[in-house]
Amino acid sequence: MIKIKTLTWFFLAFVGFANAQTYKKPLVSAIKETDLRTDMFQLAADQFWGREAGTLDELKVSMWLANKAAEAGMKPAGDNGTFFQFFDMYRHQVAPQSSIKINGSERKIWKDILVADVVNAAYSGEIIHAGKAEPADLAKLNIKGKVVAINVSDKDVAKEMTLFERRYPGFIRTKYYKTAENLGVKGIIFITDDISEKSWVEVVPQMTRGQYGVEGLREKVSNTVPVFWIQRANENWVKNNAKIDFKLITETYKYPSVNIIGKIEGTDPKLKDEYVLVSGHQDHDGIRHPVKNDTIYNGADDNASTCVAMLAMARAYRKQPGKRSIHFVFHGAEERGLLGSRWHAAHPVVPRENIVAVLNGDMIGRNNLDEAALLGGTSPHKNSDDLVRMAEEANNESTKFKYLREWDLPEHPEYFYFRIDHVPYAKLGIPSLFFTSVLHHQYHQPQDESENINYKKLYKMTEWMYRTSWKVANEPERPKLLPNVKFER
């Protein structure tokens, strides 16, 4: 009896050992804070002029990244044996031939009046001045087939968010637009309040840039209700049965952007054909209006931080590869609407079914040293229990971040989950997570520069992403997808 019990104990112990982790520990020592700092001060330097998508500056930084990727140990994984996957950006704008007259007087677009949407539209008729109307009040007015002018109200508009003034016109549009459209208006003129007066200087460049898309996934120029903005000093233009004549014409043209793609091959004869996709975006906002006498929007945290982290991870994988292959994708044109990730998700350079998980980072170098967010970590955004478990185990092993879970809630006013490059992959049913140290007061400002990065925080975030990727790369089973997960905002 004693012999039987002893044999049983040894058998159970052996089975437990066989099912335990049977791969090497991650080579965290290969990640150096000095490398992160060196790469950051080069990538986010003024020499690249803010890395705006579709410009020569983006192409220059892409060459820098490709060279650094090769130095870090990556092999080219883009098109035709290169690190590059080029794609066409489509830019839709209001054409210079467009015209707007109010009471017979020409109003200069972008100076006297702003056009918020890129639409083809024409109208000649009456303006109804609705005053300080809320959406529910519009139904009381005879506005069908006419243009309605509204003194905007910030009532019911959430204000606790980053860059509130810059984003405020968009929230106002959302507040009023559907109601006015359903009532059959031919156009909406918003008259500024105190908040939108302050935002005028910032939204003009946004509106003149127009809207962006990619071939095959491009947004179509719509023939919907046009939205205009005028300043409150000019409110008299739209009072007393004023008349408006407008003809909006759009134009579309294309120019190139690019994803930088490299890989480090796995060691397992079978699993090396499966890929862990580690990603971030390389572009930022380029040259814009001055803030504190600076016009270069360097984007150190957004998102040079993840790019240099990816280079650091590659150096670790070069010294100690995992069983699965690691696929590094530096997306282009994220700031223009996730264009690079949307393109690569639709045109992956490896079979899509062989991508076992996407670990995306964006803004991982600021804020409290011991706090971070894992978006896609909780329902309804979570699409893989296995992948979340690996990320949480990786955090528990070393970095021990306290989770900022509120950022992963669907009711969070920033809607941050839906604004980042993991989303096109998640929508295709690939297990996906987004690592971030969240927004800060220098987000999308020229002051987001290398000297303002918290390099200890950046190191910790890099380690967390690397440890997570190591687990995905080496565990026997790939992360399973949860059934019936939908990511429509």
pLDDT tens-digit profile of 193-251?
Answer: 999 999 998 899 889 989 999 976 656 566 689 999 999 999 999 999 899 999 999 99
374 has a pLDDT exceeding 80: yes
When mean pLDDT is compared across 8-22, 249-263, 303-317, 384-398, the lowest value belongs to 8-22
CA-derived radius of gyration, the chain: 26
DSSP 206: H
Instruction: Give the per-residue pLDDT at 220.
Output: 59
**CA-to-CA dists, residue 117 to 58, 121, 237, angstroms:** 26, 11, 21
pLDDT band for position 487 (cuts 50, 70, 90): low
Angstrom distance (rounded) from CA 485 to CA 425: 13
Q: Which of the four CATH numbers 3.40.630.10, 3.30.390.10, 3.40.50.300, 3.40.309.10 does domain 22-89+255-474 have?
A: 3.40.630.10
Residue entry with tokens 């209700």: 225
Angstrom distance (rounded) from CA 381 to CA 488: 10
Q: Which CATH architecture has domain 96-248?
A: 3-Layer(bba) Sandwich (3.50)
Residue % of the chain over a pLDDT of 70: 93
When mean pLDDT is compared across 16-20, 97-101, 214-218, 353-357, the lowest value belongs to 16-20
Are 22-89+255-474 and 96-248 in the same CATH fold? no
CB within 8 Å of 475: residues ≥ 6 apart: 21, 23, 390
| Beta pairing, strands 75-76 & 243-248 | unpaired
401 has a pLDDT exceeding 90: yes
Segment 467-486 mean pLDDT: 94
Closest alpha carbon to 212 in 340, 60, 50, 347: 340
Question: What mean pLDDT is reported for the chain?
Answer: 93
Report pLDDT digits (tens) over 120-167.
999 999 999 999 999 999 999 999 999 999 999 999 888 888 888 888
Instruction: Give the per-residue pLDDT at 489.
Output: 52
Residue entry with tokens 């929508």: 427
Angstrom distance (rounded) from CA 476 to CA 474: 6
Closest alpha carbon to 363 in 442, 259, 435: 435
**CA-to-CA dists, residue 385 to 326, 355, 361, 381, 432, angstroms:** 21, 17, 19, 11, 11
Angstrom distance (rounded) from CA 429 to CA 7: 45
Closest alpha carbon to 396 in 380, 418, 374: 374
Beta bridge partners of 124: 245
Domain-by-domain residue ranges, the chain? 22-89+255-474, 96-248
Angstrom distance (rounded) from CA 98 to CA 120: 9
**CA-to-CA dists, residue 440 to 111, 186, 363, 456, angstroms:** 31, 39, 9, 17
Segment 282-298 mean pLDDT: 94
**CA-to-CA dists, residue 257 to 58, 85, 262, 311, angstroms:** 8, 9, 17, 21
3 has a pLDDT exceeding 50: no
**CA-to-CA dists, residue 159 to 72, 136, 171, 409, 414, angstroms:** 43, 21, 10, 17, 10
